[in-house]
Each structure stands twice: as C-alpha cells, then as structure tokens.
Chains A and B, each alone.
Chain A
Amino acid sequence: MKFQLNILNNGGDCCGSDDSREKQCGNHTGCGGCSDAPDASSRRQFLNKASTVALGSFSLTLLPMSGDLLSDEPSPDDPDGAPADAGSRTADQSDEVVYGFLVDTERCVGTGKCLTACREENNVPEGYARTWVERFVHYKDGTVQVDLVPETGFAGSDVPPIAPGLVDRAYFVPKLCNQCEDAPCNQVCPVHAAFTSPEGVELVDPDRCIGCAYCVQACPYGVRFINPETGNADKCTWCYHRIKRNETPACVEACPVDARVFGRLDDPESELRKRLAAIPTSVLKEHLGTHPKLHYVAKSGEVI
C-alpha cells in the first residue's frame, strides 16, 4: 500500500531529507527503494489531502439543499429570498387577514353539537377527530379524571353519570387545531405539503402529501391524523373553505352557547381582539414555543 502514497507525492518527499531516513534507506534510487521504511510524513500528507478531498466533495452534496437557504435571489422555494421555512409568516403576509380563535371553557356545556357539525362538514372518518371536547372532573379527594364528550352529548350516551356529590368542580375543554405561529408540523414536513396559508391557517396540500406521518408525530396537541380514506395528513383547518367565504367554522356555527369564538387577529376592532384584551387567556403547552393562535379563557393548569 505504501507505493501508492509515493506516486501521488511525485516522489518528492517520500524519503525525506533527514539523515535518519537516509541511513535506513541506504540508496536513493527512488521511492520504491524505501518501501520498507516507515514513512510517516508522507502518510500524514496523504491523509491530509485525502480527507480534504473527501470532506470537500462530501460537502458539495449539501449544495443543492443549502442553495435555497443561502441564495439571495428568488428561488423556487420562496420568491422573496427568505429562508424556506413554512412555519412562520413572512413580512409580506403581515398586511393580510390573520385569523384567531378563542375557547371559553366556562361557557361550554358539553352538548357535542360542535363535534357532529365538524364531522358532517368535513367528512371526518369514524374513529378520528378534527375536534373534540374533554371533560375535566376534579374530585373532592384530589384526583382528576379526564374523559371525552361523546359526539351526541352525554345525555344520549352510555357513559355512566358521575355523582355530583363527589365532585369539587368540573368543566369542559374543547380542543382543535391551534394553528401555531411556529408550527412544528410544517417544520417537519419533508415535502412541503404542510404549509401556512396567507391567513395563518396551517393546511395540507392533498395532492402532495406522501402520508409519512412525521407531522402527526410532531404535533404536540394530537390534532393531526392520517385520513384512512385519502391517505393524507388531515386536521382541523378552522374550516378554511368556510372562512374564505365569510362564514364561520362549522363548530363555531354549531355552538349554542358561544363557547367557541372565531375572528380576526389583525383587526384591533374585531370582537375577538376585544375579548382577548378583556380577560386573561392562555394557550396549551406554552413551554414548547409553538405560539398557538388558539386561546383559552379560564383554563386550569391541569389542562394540557
């Protein structure tokens, strides 16, 4: 193997100029004669060169990906030259309509009308949910029980009723997509099928989703699923098709007690903004930094 090193070095350095090597080699007929002598310096040089070449050529493979990030000119991924990050809004979207959502857990009575409305409106398959309502029951002994409101409401269901005497307090918590500002679902989609609309609604391109379910794993709120009929990732879209027509989302339409409020975040005069300003609100799993646009009124710390 040592011969090859010397070929590349043009025979220049192989035997070196220090005396020790001369004594070892004896003759200087060429590097072939020194084949048995230790040749550390040329090996080092070789490793230097080889590793530079290898790492350099390897880093070249990253060019196609990094080009989109580094280039200042418009690239196919983003015409404004900004990084191709689908999660947050870019500057040119700030003058667009931005929607928000408010859930009032003190008003929800757990009828489940929103659930059937969503299922009807969006053709959600059985066994999956774009929205659901949880019931939190704080017992007097300190335990907390959480269960799901059946789609037809508790009244018509088989769920055994809870004795009110054992209960400290109880409330309903509707859940739906938070339409996060820094959505981890969009961040992890490998094919840019999960994206943010100009209005800040996270959507899934039904013709490009490959069904890898990475977004399902990345959502901290469990609102995503793979639709078994279409094979695409699916989730609550705040009824994007309705809000674009100036209708309200189906669940908001269906709520008889106005526990779900939908509106515009960008308009300071909107009812939603006024309500958000009036009372303290919170979001789910705030520590994860997803910045949801879904706000909760009067949410207990038990709710996650």
Chain B
Amino acid sequence: MHASSFVFPNDPHVPWSIMIVLYPYITGLVAGAFVVSALYHVFHQDVLKPVARLALVTALCFCVFATLPLLLHLHHPERAFNIMITPSATSAMSGFGIIYNVYMLLLVVEVWLVFRPDIVALAKTTNGWPGMVYRLLSLGDREITKESRAVDEWLIRALAIGGIPAACVLHGYVGFLFGAVKANPWWSTALMPVIFLASAVVSGIAALIALYLFFCWRRKITPDADCVRAMSRYLWVSLTIAVSLEMLELVHMAYEAGAEWHAISTLLTERLAISYGVVQVLIGSVCPFLLLLLAVRPRLNPRWLTGLSGIASVLVLVQVFAMRWNVVVGGQMLSKSFRGFVEYPLHIGGREGLIAAAVILALPFVALIFASRLLPLWESGDKHVLSSKPFQPANTGNSLTTGTLTSVTNQQRTMFNEEDTADTDAFNYGAVMRNEHV
C-alpha cells in the first residue's frame, strides 16, 4: 500500500512534448495516405481512382514537414545531422536518417512519375516562374511517348509495391522506438510497432476521406459515392484492427497484472480518464465504428454516406491524435518510481507549445492546397500521352513514331472531365490527341 505519492526528482521535467506527439501523427498520415495510393496502384482497387493522385500528393506534403516537430524539440537542432554522421546501429531513433530520406525520395519520384504528363504539358503552356519550375521538372522532355509512359507506369507500380514495406518501416520504427523502452511499462510491448502501423493506416484513410470530401465541396462537385464507400469500408476494417490491437495490449496488461500494473491502472483511471476513456475510446473509436457501420451500407443515400463518413473520419483523426498523446505524454506522466505521477504542462507559446503545434499541423494542408493549384489532382495525366498510331508490339522491330504534341490549352483540358478520363486504363488515346481538337 502506498500512503503518499513520490516521484524521482528528475521526473517532473517531462522531456517529450507535444512535438513528439505530432511526429508519429504526421508520419502516420504519410504512411496511411501512401497505403491508400498503393491500394489503387498495386492492388487495382480502381474504385479509389478519384483519390489516388490526392493520396500520393497528401503523403508527400505531410512527409515534407515531418522533420519540423523533431527540429523544434531537439535542444541542439544545429547538431541534428549527427544522426546521419554518427548514427548508432542500436538506436531506433537513428534509423530516422536513412528511413526518412529513402521514403522521401520514393515519394518525390513517385509523385513526379505520376504527374509527369501534366508537368510536360504545363511546361509548354505556362509562363513565368511556374513555367520555369515545370520545365525544370520535365527534365527537358517536350512530349510523352507511349513507351516512356509505359515504363513510367511500370516504375510507379514498382515504387508503390516497394513503398508498402517502406511505409511499414517508416512508421513501424517509431512504434519500436517506444515499444523497446523497458524502463517504461506503459510503452514496453512487442505490439507497439504493429499498433502504431495500424493506427497510421487508419489515420491516412480517414485523412483522405476528409480531404476528398473537402476538396469536392470546394470544387462544387459531387463526391464519387463508390469511392467514398470503399474508403469508408477500408477505414472501418482498419479501425477495427487498430482498436482491437490497442485493447488487446491493455487487456493483456490488466490480466497479467504485473508489478507495475497498480501504477498503470491508476494512470488510466485518474490521469488519462478523459483523454483515453472518453476521447480515444468513446468518441474516437466507438462512435466512428458505429457511424461507419451505418455509412457503408450499399444502398444508403449518398448524402448520408458522405455526411456520416465525413464525421467519422474527423473523429478518427482525433482518435489517432489522442492515441499518440496517451502513449507519449501518458507514458511520461508515470514516474519511474511507480509511486506517483507528474504533470505535463502544455505551454501555449514557445518552441514546443500549442501554437507551434497548430502551425506545424496546418502547414501540410497549406502545402496541399498549393500543390492542388500547381498540379491537377483530379484528372488523369494519360490524356497528355501521345497516340497518333495504334500501339505496335516492340518485338516486331518497329519503333513507335512519336507524334507531335500539339499544345493543349486549358480550354481543351477542361473539355475532359472525370467521366471522359475514367476509361484511360484501356489506353483510349485516340479521342484525346487527334488533330481535330487543335
């Protein structure tokens, strides 16, 4: 029995702040968004076509800002590169250097490949500095031939396949970072990488539903109901898996009731009652679970579908943030003496304060809106690929003649809305590049 609370003298100084809550949140969104795009590119879930490009660009926009919370957290950010100069093979954190850079490269290349036809087309038509950017990105290509596009498609799929284990590592290593700390019984579990990964997929799908519905609202078009329904189904399944894993870990800990269980149970019932019980479980898991259950019914009115899915996805995004909070901050609230708890003082201002966190969270969305202006997120780029003759197989020895790409004006581009480009999978280029459209 413990009469009073006691914490070690250094424990009240909580070192990992909201910035460390944000980092797994952002990389989780990156991994999750990438998984959605992989569902389209690798597993041929064509129903996800409307969000495939959005998913990739979202992953890229979030990945760009993933280092920001870490830099704000480090007490010596000017030495941040030490992680790449003298990394430690035994430290999960030092994996960041390679893992993040490789993944960033993969995303940049994949986005570039997916948007290359649009970039090349825009390079010819845009003036000023955006035109210079496009021309630079096009690497001097003035036209897109069918074979080059075919090779691109092959590489896109290869990268998407390779990106799946890379996404698992990108977020799994963060889970391992926590799960391998034997000093903290709230963190130390073999399930942690899996929980983090499942949670990441959940957050990515939810973010894409929310973003897709948001962009459709802004563009004043009706969202593709099949796409939203499919995403909601994926969200429901992955949410079930993620929450099951989280609950499994808790139930296992409670059942075994090891030496520190008395401290952890007090942590949950007293300090994390609101953020865990109410926000993460009730509002963030049970509610979306039920909402999505209603939403994915096949004959539901599309307006209901988008409404329920939208609300569910926002709740899920809150749940994932709460889960990260409960792990990172909750784990530090437990003193290493296991006889008391400390408070985490959330500052409003300052390097690791609420305002800085809000800004960091907002930046990827700003980047996404910026990206949506730079690149067409909604149309397929295949219409810019040349086709003046029917495709000849390579083994006949003929090389394809490359036709000339006539300038595609914006007016012509808007002639091709989503319905027209829906069947570009069949390479129906004939209707796109005939001279009579000039």
Q: Which residues in A have some Cβ–Cβ distance to B below 8 Å?
A: 1, 3-8, 10-11, 29-32, 35, 46-47, 50-51, 53-55, 57-58, 61-62, 64-66, 68-69, 77, 83-87, 127-129, 132, 134, 139, 142-148, 175, 184, 187-193, 208-214, 216-226, 231-232, 288-289, 304
A222 touches B73 (CB 8 A): no
A residues within 8 A CB of B9?
128-129, 132, 148, 222
Find out whether the CB atom of A304 lies under 8 angstroms from the CB atom of B338: yes
Question: In the complex, what distance in Å separates the CA atom of A149 from the CA atom of B15?
Answer: 24
Q: Does B359 contact A (CB under 8 A)?
A: no
Contact yes or no, B83 A218, CB < 8 A: no
Measured between alpha carbons, how far is A172 from B347 in the docked complex, in Å? 36
Residues B88 and A191 in contact, CB atoms below 8 Å apart: yes
A selection of 24 A-B contacts at a CB cut-off of 8 Å is A11-B393, A11-B395, A47-B161, A50-B158, A54-B158, A54-B163, A68-B89, A77-B89, A143-B3, A146-B337, A190-B96, A191-B79, A191-B94, A208-B79, A210-B80, A210-B82, A211-B76, A214-B93, A217-B15, A218-B181, A219-B336, A226-B13, A231-B75, A232-B76
Which residues of A lie under 8 Å from residue B285 when comparing CB positions? none
- Whether the pair B183, A219 counts as a contact (CB closer than 8 A) is yes
Chain A residues whose C-beta falls within 8 Å of the C-beta of B75 in the assembled complex: 210-213, 226, 231-232
> Which residues of chain B from 82 to 100 have any CB-CB distance to chain A below 8 Å in the complex?
82-83, 85-96, 98
Partner of B91, one of A11, A68, A187, A208: A187
- Asked whether B391 lies within 8 Å of A3 as measured between CB atoms, the reply is yes
Contacts A69-B89, A84-B89, A188-B91 given: A225-B10 contact, CB under 8 Å? yes
Determine the chain B residues whose CB is within 8 A of the CB of A148 once the complex forms.
6, 9
Residue in chain B with minimal CB distance to A6 = B393
Q: Give Cα A143 to B98, complex, Å.
A: 51
Contact B3 A144 (CB under 8 A): yes
Q: Which residues of B contact A57 (CB under 8 A)?
A: 162
**Contact for B90 among A32, A54, A85, CB less than 8 A:** A85
Which residues of the other chain, A, contact B394 by a CB distance below 8 angstroms? 7, 10-11
Are A8 and B80 in contact, with the CB atoms below 8 A?
no
Q: Contact at A55–B91, with CB atoms within 8 Å?
A: no
Residue B11 at the chain A interface, CB threshold 8 Å = yes
Q: Which residues in A have their C-beta under 8 angstroms from that of B80?
A: 210
Are A217 and B183 within 8 A (Cβ)? yes
7 pairs of A and B residues whose beta carbons are closest in the complex = A211-B75, A54-B162, A30-B393, A213-B15, A231-B75, A222-B8, A190-B94
Pairwise interchain contact B166-A58, C-beta atoms closer than 8 A? yes
| Contact assessment for B182 and A220 in the assembled complex, using a CB-CB cutoff below 8 Å | yes
Taking CB atoms, residues of chain A closer than 8 Å to B395 are 10-11, 30
Q: How far is the CB of A138 from chain B (nearest CB, A)?
A: 10
B133 CB, min distance to chain A CBs, angstroms: 28
Cβ A58 vs Cβ B102 within 8 A: yes
A190 near B88 with CB under 8 A, answer yes
List of B residues within 8 angstroms of A289 by Cβ:
182
- Interchain CA distance A46-B392 in the complex, whole Å: 20
Residue B233 at the chain A interface, CB threshold 8 Å? no
- Beta-carbon contact of B74 and A212 below 8 Å: yes
A185 to chain B, nearest CB (A): 9
Q: Pick from A3, A11, A50, A128: contact of B150, CB below 8 A.
A: A3
B226 within 8 A of A: no
With both beta carbons as reference points, the residue of chain B lying nearest to A217 in the complex is identified as B181
User: How far is B69's CA from A212's CA once the two chains are assembled, in angstroms?
Assistant: 12
Residue of B79, B86, B102, B182 near A288 (CB, 8 A) is: B182
Q: Looking at B1, B3, B75, B337, which has the most chain A CB atoms within 10 Å of its CB?
A: B75
Q: Is B82 a contact of A128 with CB atoms below 8 Å?
A: no
CB of B141 within 8 Å of the partner chain:
no
Give 15 new A-B contacts, CB below 8 A, not counting A54-B162, A83-B89, A217-B16. Answer: A8-B154, A65-B95, A128-B9, A187-B90, A191-B94, A210-B77, A210-B80, A213-B75, A217-B183, A217-B184, A218-B181, A219-B336, A221-B8, A222-B8, A222-B11
Give the size category of B's interface with A. Answer: 35 or more
Is B271 engaged at the interface, CB distance under 8 Å to the other chain? Answer: no
Chain B contact residues, CB within 8 Å of chain A: 1-4, 6, 8-11, 13, 15-16, 73-77, 79-80, 82-83, 85-96, 98, 102, 147, 150-151, 153-154, 157-159, 161-163, 165-166, 177, 180-184, 332, 335-339, 390-396, 425-427
Minimal Cβ-Cβ distance residue in B for A84: B89
B residues in contact with A77, CB < 8 Å: 86, 89
B98 and A128 within 8 A (CB): no
Do A142 and B98 have beta carbons less than 8 Å apart?
no
In whole angstroms, what is the CA distance A216 to B96 when docked? 19
Given contacts A86-B90, A208-B86, is CB(A146)–CB(B4) below 8 Å? yes
Distance in Å from the Cβ of B390 to the closest Cβ of chain A? 8
Query: Which of these, B4, B154, B180, contacts A147 with CB under 8 Å?
Result: B4
B13, A54: Cβ atoms closer than 8 Å: no
- By beta carbon, the residue of chain A nearest B340 is A146
Residue of A nearest to B166 (CB): A58
- A6 partner residues in chain B, CB cutoff 8 A: 393
**A209 and B82 alpha carbons, distance in the complex (Å):** 9
- Say whether A4 contacts B153, CB under 8 Å: yes
Question: CA–CA, A184 to B181, complex, Å?
Answer: 8
Kindly state the separation between the CA atoms of A189 and B83 in the bound complex, as whole angstroms: 10
Hey, which chain A residues are within 8 Å of B332, CB to CB? Answer: 217
The chain A residue sitting closest to B426, CB to CB, is A35
A187 to B88 CA separation, bound complex (whole angstroms): 8
Complex: chain A residue closest to B86, CB-CB? A192
Contact B74 A224 (CB under 8 A): no
Residues of B within 8 A of A35 (CB): 426
Residues of B within 8 A of A132 (CB): 8-9
- A127 to B336: give the CA distance in the assembly, Å: 17
Query: A146 and B8: CB pair below 8 A?
Result: no
Using Cβ atoms and an 8 Å threshold, which residues of chain A touch B16? 213, 217
With A85-B90, A191-B88, A213-B15: A218-B10 Cβ-Cβ less than 8 Å: no
Contacts of A66 in B (CB 8 A): 89
**Residues on the B chain within 8 Å of A139, using CB:** 3
Q: How far is the CB of A129 from chain B (nearest CB, A)?
A: 4
Please state if A50 and B89 are interface contacts (CB–CB under 8 Å): no
Contact of A222 with B165 in the complex, beta carbons under 8 Å: no
Chain A positions within 8 Å of B89 at CB level:
65-66, 68-69, 77, 83-85
Measured between beta carbons, the chain A residues less than 8 angstroms from B182 are 184, 218, 220, 288-289
Contact partner, A129, options B10, B85, B166, B180, Cβ 8 Å: B10
